[in-house]
Amino acid sequence: MGTYAVTGSASGMGAASAARLREAGHRVIGIDLRDADVTADLGTAQGRRHAVDEVLRLSGGVLDGVAAVAGVGPNMPSAAAVASINYFGPVALLDGLRPALERDGGGRAVVIGSNSATTVPMIDDRLVDLLLAGDEDGARAHAAGAQGSLPAELAATSPSISAYATSKFALARWVRRTAVTPEWARRGITLNTIAPGAVVTPLMTGSTMSEDDLDPDAFPTPMPRGIFGRPADIAFWVAQFLSPEAGFTTGAILTVDGGTDAAMRPDAQPTAMTR
């Protein structure tokens, strides 16, 4: 059996992913703000370093896989914090743990993105550039400044919607770029993204509606299946991407949203390469 690190392990999709791995007989090192093997704030550089150091200590420097699940939603009051937690948190953690994934047969890593990266028309190109450049101070300052231009009605319910969608967009792009580098691909480590849609977690219900009021037909985006996702739906795919058999899959983005992205952008994929 293997050893896996899972961020956001105390609740939602992270807890479901950790539980599925444990049920399969694996050892899981959970990382979260509380109720975890490693208590760390991935929104800060110090917290990320602590998380990496503790996971390496607990694992003996050898991991079979990492699931970067932790994140915050568009209801977060601080857009700057969203940029730090949703982008710099998983990137720093995966960079720090990459050497531990260099094992016989190769380790596996999966990141939780969001279909908001493709279905929310508020991607901030300047913020994307700052995130991918690794400029956390610049990204935080820009996100905070841009937040002030949101319409009042949107700011009242989703004050960080642009930073949220943009951070998930940039994270997926980082995965695509990083997965094919020699440091990852030629050392046998796979790196993929899962892009969930509306999944019933504290993050979703806290940012859109209460669970008692959930109605797929009244949701702001199309819900072709007529149902909301559950954490177990995402945990299933986390386990697939982390399995030893997934060695030929890297740089992929799997949308798990009940058809929302397909309904909103039916002709967006596939996109032909242009000369």
Phi, psi of 242 (to 5 degrees): -90, -5
4 is catalytic: no
What does the alpha-carbon distance between residue 90 and residue 93 come to, in Å, rounded to a whole number? Answer: 5
List of E strands, the chain: 3-7, 27-32, 38-39, 65-68, 108-112, 190-196, 253-256
Which residue of the set 164, 169, 174, 241 is catalytic? 164
Paired strand residues for 5: 29, 66
Q: Please name the residues in contact with 19: beta carbons below 8 A apart, sequence gap of 6 or more.
A: 235
CA pseudo-torsion sign 245, 248, 269, 175: positive
Instruction: Return the active site residues.
Output: 164
